[in-house]
Structures are given as structure tokens and as C-alpha cells.
């Protein structure tokens, strides 16, 4: 629809990537017609969007780029917002889970996920059920959607739920596993709060997690996490520093990571504090601000973005500089720098950075710095410049890598001797 509107009226459109189908398909045994059409729609959107907004590095630099026709220059990363409830809902959550538990005072190992195979909650039950120490010292709380009668449930949901109950039964976990049937928003908030105050852990064992909102929610409530090492959680856990990444197919790996957090109180405190303070930047106001900047850049790109060929002014100087702590670090300085460039159209501005293009652009946006005419990124291995002026896009200078390839005089030593 957006593409049709753009084609007729010339209104540019931004595609917000969400739960991309290719990765989901890779985690399924059977790919049906619906999945094929979903991927076809995604390809059409990715190829024709004027800008694409993704939420994690994984989504921007791996998931999106795996699509045919995807162009890195159109992809931007903005971290979604997360809301926490300030009111204490622990008592309400306690009422929800108490009937299941023999000793409700134990640390809570919490999972919240839709009851679909991809979320892989079974691996968490296996991790808990096979670990005598965890079974004896903690409670497992699983919130997996709202349960109705088996007949009215969708088949995947009832299959996933039946599988969970069978595993709980096989490990004889009654009295230490709660799996409430219904919940509301206050229960969810209360469970995060309860798990945090019990010095527990949040676990997301998904086979692949496109972004991983629950892992950010846990951070915001000061609850350390054990999360899948496949998908957006890799960036979130690395950036927020609030827990461990694990192989979701290995219950032993999951159990060991949970124990590291539960058994080391200094490590737990550090993760809880990191998560809570770092998650504060994840607000919807910040998202809206960044989104508006991108929208503006595709509607009316700033004059500075076309500085490689400024109208009526011959470029005379090239100003190339580093980004982190050179252009960033002082808001007043960044504003002055921007003003200076705007008043000197004969300067061609280039940024040379170790960051990827997506990450460099994200930081420049956050500091309200102007889009340079040339990007030298990935530790100098890639060069980009605005290819199609007026659309905020960039083009990669492939000739450089080819030239380096042809004229290479440097023969690297064998990797073994370098190590
Ligand atoms: O029984 C449940 C299960 C989930 N939630 C909430 O629903 C949201 C679901 O988050 P998540 O599991 O990350 O999302 P998905 O439903 O899988 O949806 C997609 O969209 C999310 C938001 O972009 C991404 O984080 C995911 O990776 C992507 O799969 C969170 O706020 C949960 O607290 C509930 O309230 N009850
Ligand atoms: O598993 P899928 O089909 O990618 O679903 C993504 C899910 O993300 C949401 O959009 C947000 O949680 C749900 O409405 C939807 O079910």
C-alpha cells in the first residue's frame, strides 16, 4: 500500500521491520504458503522503501541484509521504547502463582513468551528439571499466553502447552513450577518485580528472537537475564550488560548460566544495576525523536548531505575525522561544529570510523550531527557516499575494495602464526 501511494503521489515511505520471516522460516520444520507470501511482501517493502527502521544490530546488519535487494544505506537502527509500571504489583502477582508453589519465597526463574515452538520454553523446563540444585532452591514461573479450552486454542498453542505439561510431569516438578492460565498487565509487571526482589532471573530461550522486548523489560525492572544467543538479544544483553547469552538448544548451558547468576550475589547485583540504569535510555520519546530525524532526511535532506556536489560552490577542503569522542562527547561542541559546516559549503565533510554504517549513523543522529558527504566505516574497509541525492540513501564504493584486491602487495602471514 505504501509503495503504491509513493508511486502515485511521490510520498516517500519508511518500512519498520518487525519479526522478519526469513529467520522465523529457518526455525520451522515446514514452510507454508503463508510464510512464503510474508517473505515476498517483506522483500517488496525492503527493496522499495525510502528508509527502513530496525531495532537491533542483528536485525539491521544481518536479518535485513539477508534479503535480496536490501541496501545498507537505507537501513537505520532505533531502539524501541520500554515501559515499566512504577506501582508495586507484587502482591497481585503472588496471588496468581502461590497456588502452584510449595515454597513461594524461593528465587523466581521467570519466562514470559507466547506459546509457540520458536520461543522454546521446553528447553527451560528441561534445564530446570535436570538440575537438582535449581529444583531444590528456586521456583520456575512460566507465563505463556492466555489459556482457553483446548478446542478453542490454536493447534500450535495447545501442542506447545501439552508438551510443557508433559515435561513438568516427567520431571515431577509439581510444587516448584507455576504456569498461570490468565494474566493482565499488572500481573506481568508484578511478576518482573517479584522475580527481581526474590533475586531471581528472567530467561528467554527462543530459538531465534528478532528483537526481544521481554529482555529489555526485565532490565528495566532490575532483573538479570539469561537469553538466547540468536537474534536481537545479542545486542541487548551486550549493550545493557545485564546477564548471559546461551545456546538455546542446550538445557545444560541454560541451567549453568542461571546458576552463575543465582549463586554469585555480587554478579547478580551488578547485572541488576546495569540493566536498570542502561534500560532508561529505551524510551518511546527518544524513538519518536530519532524516527522524525530519519523522516526529515528522506523528505528534505539537509544541504550538507549533498556537500560532495554542492550547488554553485566548488568543494575546496576535505575535512575527515573520527567519530567516537571526537565529534561526540560535548553537546555544545557538536552544535557549534554543525553550525560551522552549514556556513562553509566549500568543506566536504567525511567521517572515518571503526563503526558500521548503521551504528555510525545512529550515533551521529543521537548527537544531532550532520550527515557527512562521505562515510569511511568498518575500520576503513568500506566507503559510502550519498548515491541518490534527495533520498538520504548511500552507495557503497565497491571499486575501492576491488582496487585493493587487484593491487595488493601485502601478503598476510598464516593465521596460525598470528594467533
Ligand atoms: O503471555 C504473554 C507473553 C508476552 N507478553 C508480553 O508481550 C510482549 C511480547 O514480547 P516478545 O516476546 O519480545 O514479542 P513477540 O510476541 O515474539 O513479538 C515480536 O515483536 C517483539 C517486539 O518488537 C520482538 O521483541 C520479538 O522479538 C518479536 O518476535 C512483551 O511485552 C511481553 O511482556 C505478555 O504480556 N503475555
Ligand atoms: O511469530 P510472528 O509471526 O513473527 O509474530 C510476531 C508477533 O509480534 C507481535 O506483533 C508483537 O508481539 C505479535 O502481535 C505477533 O504475534
Ligand 1 near 17 CB (within 6 A): no
C-alpha grid cell, residue 38: 510474508
Residue 19 CA to ligand 2 centre (angstroms):
7
- In whole angstroms, what is the distance from residue 13 CA to residue 51 CA? 7
- 385: pLDDT strictly greater than 80: no
| CB contact at 8 A, 291 and 76 | no
Could you read off the pLDDT of 211-264 as tens digits, one per residue?
Answer: 999 999 999 999 999 999 999 999 999 999 999 999 999 999 999 999 999 999
Ligand 1 near 143 CB (within 6 A): yes
Angle, helices 265-278/233-240, rounded to nearest 10 degrees:
100
Give the closest ligand to the alpha carbon of residue 23.
2
Residue 210 CA to ligand 2 centre (angstroms):
10
For atom 30 of ligand 1, the residue with the nearest CA is 214
- In whole angstroms, what is the distance from residue 86 CA to residue 66 CA? 40
Quick one: pLDDT band at residue 328, thresholds 50, 70, 90? very high
| CB contact at 8 A, 59 and 78 | no
Q: Which of 17, 18, 19, 114 to mutate to test the pocket of ligand 2 (most atoms within 8 A of CB)?
A: 19
| CB contact at 8 A, 226 and 212 | no
For atom 22 of ligand 1, the residue with the nearest CA is 213
| Phi, psi angles (nearest 5°) of residue 74 | -95, -5
Give the closest ligand to the alpha carbon of residue 34.
2
| SS3 state of residue 374 | strand
- In whole angstroms, what is the distance from residue 229 CA to residue 268 CA? 19
The listed range with the strongest mean pLDDT (109-113, 158-162, 283-287) is 109-113
Number of the ligand 2 atom closest to the C-alpha atom of 21:
4
Measured in Å, how far apart are the chain's first and last C-alpha atoms? 53
Q: In what order do the strands lie in the sheet with 225-228?
A: 177-178, 139-143, 108-112, 201-204, 225-228, 243-246
pTM check: above 0.90: no
In Å, how far are 24, 100, 316, 381 from 305, measured between CA atoms? Answer: 37, 60, 16, 22
- In whole angstroms, what is the distance from residue 312 CA to residue 305 CA? 15
Neighbours of 306 (CB within 10 A): 16
Ligand 1 near 137 CB (within 6 A): no
Closest CA to 292 of 226, 365, 191, 237: 365
- In whole angstroms, what is the distance from residue 249 CA to residue 228 CA? 9
Domains (range + CATH), the chain: 2-77 (no CATH), 90-281 (3.40.50.2000), 301-418 (3.40.50.1000)
For atom 2 of ligand 2, the residue with the nearest CA is 19
Could you read off the pLDDT of 130-167 as tens digits, one per residue?
Answer: 999 999 999 999 999 998 765 666 788 999 999 999 99
Amino acid at each position: 500500500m505504501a509503495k503504491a501511494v509513493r508511486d502515485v503521489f511521490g510520498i516517500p515511505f519508511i518500512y519498520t521491520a518487525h519479526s522478519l520471516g526469513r529467520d522465523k522460516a529457518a526455525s520451522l520444520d515446514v514452510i507454508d504458503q503463508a510464510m512464503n507470501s510474508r517473505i515476498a511482501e517483506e522483500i517488496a517493502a525492503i527493496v522499495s522503501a525510502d528508509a527502513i527502521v530496525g531495532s537491533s544490530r542483528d536485525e539491521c546488519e544481518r536479518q535485513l541484509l539477508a534479503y535480496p535487494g536490501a541496501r545498507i544505506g537505507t537501513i537505520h537502527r532505533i531502539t524501541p521504547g520500554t515501559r515499566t509500571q512504577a506501582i508495586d504489583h507484587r502482591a497481585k502477582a503472588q496471588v496468581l502463582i502461590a497456588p502452584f508453589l510449595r515454597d513461594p519465597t524461593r528465587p523466581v526463574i521467570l519466562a514470559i513468551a507466547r506459546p509457540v515452538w520458536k520461543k522454546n520454553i521446553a528447553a527451560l523446563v528441561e534445564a530446570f528439571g535436570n538440575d537438582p540444585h535449581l529444583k531444590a532452591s528456586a521456583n520456575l514461573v512460566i507465563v505463556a499466553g492466555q489459556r482457553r479450552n483446548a478446542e478453542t486454542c490454536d493447534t500450535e498453542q495447545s501442542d506447545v502447552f501439552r508438551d510443557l505439561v508433559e515435561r513438568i510431569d516427567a520431571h515431577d516438578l509439581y510444587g516448584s513450577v507455576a504456569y498461570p492460565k490468565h494474566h493482565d498487565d499488572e500481573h506481568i509487571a508484578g511478576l518482573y518485580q517479584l522475580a527481581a526482589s526474590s533475586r531471581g532471573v528472567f530467561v528467554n530461550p527462543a530459538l531465534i528472537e528478532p528483537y526481544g522486548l521481554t529482555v529489555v523489560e526485565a532490565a528495566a525492572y532490575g532483573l538479570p537475564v539469561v537469553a538466547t544467543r540468536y537474534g536481537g538479544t545479542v545486542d541487548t544483553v551486550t549493550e545493557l550488560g545485564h546477564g548471559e547469552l546461551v545456546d538455546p538448544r542446550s538445557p545444560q548451558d541454560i541451567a549453568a548460566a542461571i546458576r552463575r547468576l543465582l549463586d554469585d550475589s555480587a554478579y547478580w547485583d551488578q547485572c541488576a544495576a546495569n540493566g536498570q540504569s542502561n534500560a532508561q535510555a529505551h524510551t518511546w520519546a527518544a524513538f519518536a525523536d530519532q524516527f522524525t530525524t530519519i523522516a526529515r532526511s528522506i523528505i528534505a535532506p539537509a544541504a550538507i548531505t549533498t556537500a560532495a556536489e554542492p550547488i554553485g560552490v566548488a568543494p575546496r577542503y576535505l575535512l575527515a575525522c573520527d567519530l567516537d569522542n571526537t565529534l561526540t562527547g560535548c553537546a555544545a561542541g557538536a552544535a557549534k561544529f554543525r553550525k560551522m559546516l552549514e556556513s562553509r559549503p566549500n568543506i566536504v565533510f567525511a567521517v572515518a570510523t571503526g563503526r558500521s554504517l548503521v551504528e555510525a549513523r545512529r550515533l551521529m543522529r543521537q548527537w544531532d550531527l550532520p550527515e557527512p558527504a562521505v562515510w569511511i566505516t568498518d575500520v576503513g574497509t568500506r566507503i559510502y557516499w550519498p548515491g541518490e541525492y534527495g533520498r538520504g540513501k548511500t552507495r557503497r564504493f565497491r571499486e575501492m575494495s576491488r582496487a585493493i584486491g587487484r593491487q595488493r602487495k601485502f601478503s598476510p602471514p598464516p593465521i596460525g602464526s598470528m594467533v
